[in-house]
Amino acid sequence: MSMLKIGPIIVSLLFVILLLEVVIFSPESVGPPEGVKVSEQSVGDQEFLFGNQTLEGIHLVEAKEGKQEWELRAEQAQGDERQETWKLKRVEMVFFGDDGMKFRVVGDQGEIRAEKRNVFVSGNVKTRSSNGYLYLADNVEYDSNGRELRSHGPVSLFGPKERSGEQLQLTGTDMVTYMDSGKISVDHNVKAKQILDENRAADIVSERAEFSAKSRFARFFGNVIIDVDETRITGPDAELIYESGESRVKELTVRGGAKVSDLEKWATADKVTFFFKEKRYLFTGHPLVVQGKDELRGDVIEFFNGGKQVQVKDVKANITPEEVEKQIESTDN
Distance CA 51, CA 41 (A): 13
pLDDT of residue 320: 52
Distance CA 65, CA 205 (A): 41
pLDDT of residue 245: 65
What domains lie within the chain, and their CATH numbers? 1-130 (2.60.450), 136-230 (2.60.450.10)
Burial bucket for residue 93 (CB in 10 Å: 0-12, 13-18, 19+): buried
pLDDT of residue 36: 37
Mean pLDDT per 10-residue section of the chain, whose length is 333 residues: 39 35 37 42 46 82 86 91 84 92 96 82 96 94 93 94 76 95 95 85 96 89 94 95 77 95 90 90 94 88 83 72 54 48
pLDDT of residue 324: 54
pLDDT of residue 268: 95
- Locate the DSSP E strands across 36-147: 39-40, 54-64, 67-80, 85-96, 102-113, 118-129, 134-143
Angle, vertex CA 40, rays to CA 92 and CA 85, nearest 5: 65
Report the DSSP pairing between strands 134-143 and 288-291. unpaired
Instruction: Give the three-class secondary structure for 130.
Output: coil
pLDDT of residue 31: 44
Dihedral angle of Cα 26, 30, 33, 36, to the nearest 10 degrees:
30
